[in-house]
Amino acid sequence: MYITSKHQRSPVDLSIYQVIKEASLLYSIPYNYFHSDFIKGDLSIQESIYAHCGVIFVTHFLNRLGPEYNKLTSLLDPSKSTQHAEVLSSLKKRLRAETYTQNYIKEVFESRKEIIKKLYRQFADVHYIRSSMEKTLSYQRISQITPFANEEEFETILSRECSQNEHHVLVLRALYVFNKHILKTNFYTSTKVALSFRLDPSFLPQSEYPDTPFGMFFVVGNEFRGFHIRFRDIARGGIRIVRSRSDDAYNVNVRNLFDENYNLASTQQRKNKDIPEGGSKGVILLDPGSSQERPEANFQKYIDALIDLLLKQNIPGVKDNYIDLYNKPEILFLGPDEGTAGYVDWATLHAKSRGAPWWKSFLTGKSPTIGGIPHDVYGMTSLSVRAYVNKIYEQLKIESASIKKIQTGGPDGDLGSNEILLSRDEQYVGIVDGSGVIADPNGLDKQELLRLAKERKMIDSFDASKLSDLGYRVLVDDVDVKLPNGYLVTSGVSFRNTFHLKIKEVFGVNLVDLFVPCGGRPSAIDTNNVHDLIDGKTGKSVIPYIVEGANLFITQSAKIILEQAGCVIFKDASTNKGGVTSSSLEVLASLSFDDKGFSTHMCVDSKTHEIPQFYQEYVKQVQKIIVENAQNEFQVLWNLKKDTGLTFTELSDKLSVTINKLADELANSKELWNEDTEFRDAVLLDSLPPLLLKEIGIEKILERVPETYLKALFATHLASRFVYSRGIDSNPAKFLEFISSTRKEYKKKGFL
């Protein structure tokens, strides 16, 4: 009654309503950075929690680098030298580490409470839905605060009150930027479990973030903070949880959090060039201490807070409305990443329980019983990685049996286990995983590796009796271990973390032929250590072939240095796109079927475990598409290197940029989409999996799948086909010739 009544409210009603509102904030953030100010009455609960969120925002987005860094960037020009780019990146990290810590920002807020209150009033004036609540105490309180009339007045007050402290000015300006770029928030809804803000990302400086994201979410929970970044309206990518072993590790993770999220989403954008969805990524950083033991609960809060801003629900007593300055429908396509694979079923079903019409396609990586296609079971990511390995053998006429190989990421993981299972007759000489290192110059027993891969066990379960006299296993807890060749390992953890850099010491310069990173931290190989993989006498890479399965394992400049040293190396954005292709086709099926058809054809029976016939055939079709896409990209990269002399690493990026740029232009082309509907439908017929067309029909698919998604599918299919067949020179004459030949092809197929 207190929430839904439209009659004149009594003071008691208003008090209860205020308790409901404030209880929701306190539930989301029970103890904020300014809790003592709230207790003393210096700040209201709304002001203190707003300030709490503001501190976190400013910590991540205060531009600490200054004009000197921008000047240095223009002098060094990172676009012309990858080594310059990496030096600037390292300098940026150091500058951020040494100035404007979170504690310092809190101190500034504490000392400038009156300005913080005015900025809160500015925030509330935009996002607080007054309705008939204007008599509540909280509204009466903020009404007494005079807001800033405009930016000019804000700057005038800053110059007057902070004239002696430029650092305070920078911090408070960053909070003002926060206010100006919030498009919607659940801050004032009465049922929430974490606070979420949809931000306009245009405030990100182009000197640091050259490609401005399409959209950005900022989420603050009691025990975590998180972001979600996407580079297109229709975009997909995983959600990862970042954990910290110590307070020092946490501080490093805080500094790197947004940049890592941005770089992962950007890599995903390049990787997703073959699919309708652009690139996105979400990160959740758990607070230090006991929060590290509650990843699932914090993941759930993050997801629920995102859903709050994806659905517009005005359900009396359940969900309030909110001010929406963006005012367009939004859908996110999420998936599992580090630390979240076990939680996607909950997120899918939770979206369904919240009434989301897109619940079936919200997350991929879910259980087959609710329509998921598990990447690990069907080796989806590994299929594209293996396609590159096999194409190297084919192009260079190499017998796989002659290959000696090392791998990071062990038989317990998705990529690592499937790489072993698909590896034909290559001879493994070293594997690194979470438990340690196992190596044998004479070759690790393949049957034992296959057993571990099938059972998804780490190398600490490897039967050591199957090692040769030169073989060894060093686990992370081991210390002072002497290897058969006399090399002394003082720390098992350190040896595990750096084994991929010790090839010369443990194997010599001529033993290892192939390295497939299937796991490990980003930037494990960079310009500071890449020379450990180059023979000082010959200047040649000690590993002839590298196929980067793990995301961002080797930095861009390190890859180029290795390639210039004679290594044939293919980067992650090209090689490991099989998983996202599988996820995209899973989403397409989810969007195309109605609920009944989805349950019948895409859901494995939870009791009998019977797999629908359609599902089995669809998985095979997905696998076929993954391999074909990888082979197509490999071939165009191989040909382009011959023609241009550029490295595969540079060409991979050029290929992605060309396809994505052309796809964006085509998606915005009204002429191709609205005026030439016959050709549009022919492209869609060609791009949709034949099995879906046969089962559902083009009319139903066009009716059910959102138009924005279909536009993206249409544009990506044309763009990728054009670039794979005509190269990266996308001049208008070439494109017109391509369209003409495509029309002829479609007429032959009966599409036109």
The tally of CA atoms less than 13 A away on the side-chain side of residue 700 is 14
Gyration radius of the chain over CA positions = 28
pLDDT digits (tens, 9 = 90+) for 436-481: 999 999 999 999 999 999 999 999 999 999 999 999 999 999 999 9
pLDDT over threshold 80, residue 3: no
Would strands 224-230 and 215-220 be described as parallel, antiparallel, or unpaired?
A: antiparallel
The rounded distance, in Å, linking the Cα atoms of 614 and 694 is 11
DSSP state of 325: S
pLDDT over threshold 80, residue 424: yes
Whole-number Cα distances in Å, 697 to 592, 594, 658, 707, 710: 9, 13, 32, 16, 15
Task: Give the SS3 label for residue 241.
Answer: strand
Q: What is the pLDDT of residue 671?
A: 83
Q: What is the pLDDT of residue 21?
A: 65
DSSP state of 4: T
Q: What percent of the chain has pLDDT over 70?
A: 92
The tally of CA atoms less than 13 A away on the side-chain side of residue 301 is 27
14 — pLDDT class (breaks 50, 70, 90): low
Q: What is the pLDDT of residue 74?
A: 72
Q: What is the pLDDT of residue 522?
A: 83
Per-residue DSSP letters for 459-503? GGGS-GGGS-TT-EEEETT-EEEEPTTS-EEEEHHHHHHHGGG-H
Q: What is the pLDDT of residue 20?
A: 65
pLDDT over threshold 60, residue 19: yes
Compare 87 and 576 and report the one with higher pLDDT. 576
Whole-number Cα distances in Å, 159 to 11, 164, 569, 747: 42, 9, 54, 69
Contact 471, 442 (CB under 8 A): yes
Structure tokens at 189: 């809804």
Q: What is the pLDDT of residue 7?
A: 46
For 58: left if phi > 0, alpha if psi spans -120 to 50, otherwise beta; the answer is: alpha
pLDDT digits (tens, 9 = 90+) for 175-193: 999 999 999 999 999 899 9
672 — pLDDT class (breaks 50, 70, 90): confident
Compare 315 and 650 and report the one with higher pLDDT. 650
Q: What percent of the chain has pLDDT over 90?
A: 79
The rounded distance, in Å, linking the Cα atoms of 492 and 408 is 15
Contact 347, 362 (CB under 8 A): yes
Contact 172, 156 (CB under 8 A): no
Which segments within 304-409 are labelled E, that is strand? 333-336, 404-408
Would strands 278-286 and 224-230 be described as parallel, antiparallel, or unpaired?
A: antiparallel
pLDDT digits (tens, 9 = 90+) for 228-248: 999 999 999 999 999 998 999
pLDDT digits (tens, 9 = 90+) for 490-523: 999 999 999 999 999 999 999 999 999 999 988 9
Per-residue DSSP letters for 192-211? -SSEEEEE-GGGS-TTT-SS
Check for a shared fold between 182-366 and 380-572: yes
CA 413 to chain centre: 19
Q: Is 360 a catalytic residue?
A: no
Structure tokens at 6: 């439209």
Task: Break the chain down into helix, strand, coil percent, rounded to 5.
Answer: 55, 10, 30
The tally of CA atoms less than 13 A away on the side-chain side of residue 430 is 25
Q: What is the pLDDT of residue 645?
A: 95
The rounded distance, in Å, linking the Cα atoms of 615 and 372 is 10
Q: Looking at 271, 281, 319, 711, which residue is catalytic? A: 281
The rounded distance, in Å, linking the Cα atoms of 44 and 42 is 7
- In the chain, where the domains are located: 1-64+99-180, 182-366, 380-572, 577-749
Minimum mean pLDDT among 92-101, 192-201, 291-300, 418-427: which range?
Answer: 92-101
Q: What is the pLDDT of residue 146?
A: 83
The rounded distance, in Å, linking the Cα atoms of 575 and 386 is 8
**Averaged over 341-349, what is the pLDDT?**
94
pLDDT over threshold 60, residue 132: no
Q: What is the pLDDT of residue 732?
A: 86
Greatest alpha-carbon pair distance for the chain in Å reads: 88
Contact 173, 158 (CB under 8 A): yes
The rounded distance, in Å, linking the Cα atoms of 83 and 528 is 10
Q: For the domain bounded by 182-366, which CATH number is listed?
A: 3.40.50.10860
Minimum mean pLDDT among 6-15, 28-37, 535-544: which range?
Answer: 6-15
pLDDT over threshold 50, residue 595: yes
134 — pLDDT class (breaks 50, 70, 90): low
| Averaged pLDDT of the chain | 91
pLDDT over threshold 50, residue 4: no
Place of tokens 């992962």: 264
pLDDT over threshold 50, residue 395: yes
What residues form DSSP beta bridges with 515? 406, 546
Which fold is adopted by the domain 380-572?
Rossmann fold (3.40.50)
Number of neighbouring beta carbons within 10 Å of residue 58: 23
Phi–psi pair at 573, nearest 5 degrees: -60, -20
**Averaged over 325-331, what is the pLDDT?**
95
pLDDT over threshold 70, residue 724: yes
Three-state SS string across 355-374, please? CCCCHHHHECCCCHHHCCCC
Task: Give the SS3 label for residue 225.
Answer: strand
Which segments within 539-597 are labelled E, that is strand? 545-547, 568-570
